[in-house]
Amino acid sequence: MKSIKILFYGLVFETLAMTCNPKVNVELFLYNAISLFEDRSYFEEAIIQKFMQKNLDTWLFDQLCELLYLFSVDGSIRARESLYEKYNTLLGLLSHRTNRVDKDNLEWLCVWLTTLDGFPAFKSILQQLGEYAFRKSDIVDIDWFYFNAKNKFGDKRVDTYLQKNAIKSDYIKSFLNSISQTKIQNRQGIDSPTLEEVIKASREKRSRGLALRFAKVATEEELIKLAKYSIEEINLDIKLELLWTFRNVRFPLDEQFIFELAGNDNESIRNVAFEMMQHLPSDTIHDFAINLIKQKKELANALSLLCFCYKSEDETVLLEGIQSLTISYEDGGWHGLFMDVERLLVNRYVKINPSVFIYIYRQTLCSYCRHTLIHKMFKRKILPQEILEECLHDSYEDIRKFAVRKLKK
């Protein structure tokens, strides 16, 4: 029995790793399988141990939340306490310079806790998030939790509670103000945002939605002014907000500034710099990307950049670079890269060896990406027969069905 448990333990986390498609309720399937064991505590403790780790990828975090939610619904006090313990940890991190993943995970957890404990949990979470917003004079960027609650409990009930209690509670008022800011920002998206609005929102660290809309309407003169502001800004958080527009439109000043950003100690600044490079001429970025890949520096960013200036002779460098990349939930840089490589299949003028795509198919942790990759390889007529046959045993049902259909022809 011990050996069966160990084997099944590995199967649980391997299945979670391979299934990122929201259409597949693998969590319920796994929970039902775990329930077949007389003693479920072995698996419950393993799931809790994983759940308590830091910097979990949001896909995996949501899956673990649902598993612990199912344990809690079935009466597990340990699972319920673990969900709230993690909530308190992530809530505490808001007061520090937390990363985007922690904020996203906190929002997912808030949604699961209101699913578990209903409107009382919603009211408690509102109070705590509002307290953070009030004490830090900050905006709680967690509007999806709010809209999910409206879907769950009804628009009228949620908004009536907020408006009624905002009168007598500074904390609820602060939360409501955060939601109002989100609504205002969404309304601004209907009209073309001005340069002044983008700069003001950048200093309040809420400019990214505006920045992407601004990129579509900005004049060359406005882009030059914004570029100058971004160069002069010392605060890295604000600089990042100011640079956000240039993810979607070419930076109009000295290109050397972008390459300097790519060497910044701040990871977010480096990431946005590589996205800005995608708008530069291929000859400008090609050798830069190749050199980084050969040195195994900034691998995910450099490989993604190479996809935007790819040449047929880069085939070996691309494959060896991808094979050197860490693929795990703790380090999610591989996912965006794999999607960039997959886009090469759309370009009929690019000749590329299927071995790159075969490697991605076998290594990716995302079932949806495997599905789209197999479709595109087949359409491009570079899907080997042995891989199509291998697809018959894929963990994702749609891939298996696709393989059955094509092998019948």
Q: What one-character-per-residue DSSP string does 210-274 give? A: HHHHHHHH--HHHHHHHHHHHHH---HHHHHHHHGGGGTS---S-THHHHHHTT-S-HHHHHHHH
pLDDT at residue 198 above 50? Answer: yes
pLDDT band, residue 402 (cuts 50/70/90): very high
Q: Could you give the percent of the chain with pLDDT greater than 70? A: 86
Q: Distance between CA atoms of 387 and 253, rounded to whole angstroms?
A: 47
pLDDT band, residue 282 (cuts 50/70/90): confident
Distances (CA, A) of 385 to 49, 273, 372, 382: 41, 40, 17, 9
Q: Distance between CA atoms of 102 and 57, rounded to whole angstroms?
A: 9
Position 330 scores a pLDDT of 63
Q: How many CB atoms lie within 10 A of CB 63?
A: 25
Position 270 scores a pLDDT of 93
Short-list 77, 75, 49, 78, CA closest to 64: 49
Task: Tokens 């900034």: give the residue.
Answer: 298
Long-range CB contacts for residues 355-363, cutoff 8 Å, separation at least 24:
355/319, 356/315, 356/318, 356/319, 356/322, 357/382, 358/384, 358/387, 359/319, 359/322, 359/323, 360/322, 361/387, 363/327, 363/334
What are the tokens at 394? Answer: 């894929």
- Return mean pLDDT, the chain: 82
Q: Distance between CA atoms of 87 and 108, rounded to whole angstroms?
A: 10
- Residue 326 backbone dihedrals phi, psi, to 5 degrees: -75, 130
Position 98 scores a pLDDT of 60
pLDDT at residue 187 above 60? Answer: no
Position 263 scores a pLDDT of 94
| pLDDT tens track for 104-160 | 889 889 999 999 999 999 998 988 888 887 776 666 777 778 888 888 888 889 888
Contact status, residue 368 vs residue 21, Cβ threshold 8 Å: yes
Position 191 scores a pLDDT of 57
What are the tokens at 249? Answer: 């439109």
pTM: 0.57
The amino acid sitting at 38 is E
Position 165 scores a pLDDT of 86
Pure H helices in 262-349: 267-277, 282-295, 299-307, 315-323, 333-343
| pLDDT tens track for 345-400 | 877 677 778 999 999 999 987 777 788 899 989 988 999 999 999 999 987 788 89
Question: Residue 87, CB half-sphere, CA atoms under 13 Å: how many?
Answer: 22
Position 152 scores a pLDDT of 86
Position 178 scores a pLDDT of 73
Q: Distance between CA atoms of 383 and 386, rounded to whole angstroms?
A: 8
Position 10 scores a pLDDT of 44
What are the tokens at 233? Answer: 């800004």
Short-list 55, 54, 86, CA closest to 68: 86
Position 257 scores a pLDDT of 96
Distances (CA, A) of 348 to 14, 326, 381, 382: 35, 29, 11, 12
Kindly state the average pLDDT of the residues 50-64.
Answer: 84
Position 392 scores a pLDDT of 93
pLDDT at residue 256 above 90? Answer: yes
Range in 24-33, 35-44, 102-111, 269-278 with the lowest mean pLDDT: 24-33
pLDDT band, residue 95 (cuts 50/70/90): low
Q: Distance between CA atoms of 354 and 339, rounded to whole angstroms?
A: 15
Kindly state the average pLDDT of the residues 15-34.
Answer: 58
Position 4 scores a pLDDT of 45
Q: Distance between CA atoms of 262 and 369, rounded to whole angstroms?
A: 28
The C-alpha R_g of the chain, in whole angstroms, comes to 24
pLDDT band, residue 6 (cuts 50/70/90): very low
Short-list 86, 76, 143, CA closest to 113: 86
pLDDT at residue 253 above 90? Answer: yes
Kindly state the average pLDDT of the residues 48-70.
Answer: 86
Position 342 scores a pLDDT of 86
pLDDT band, residue 188 (cuts 50/70/90): very low
pLDDT at residue 61 above 70? Answer: yes
Position 186 scores a pLDDT of 43
Position 2 scores a pLDDT of 45
Position 159 scores a pLDDT of 86
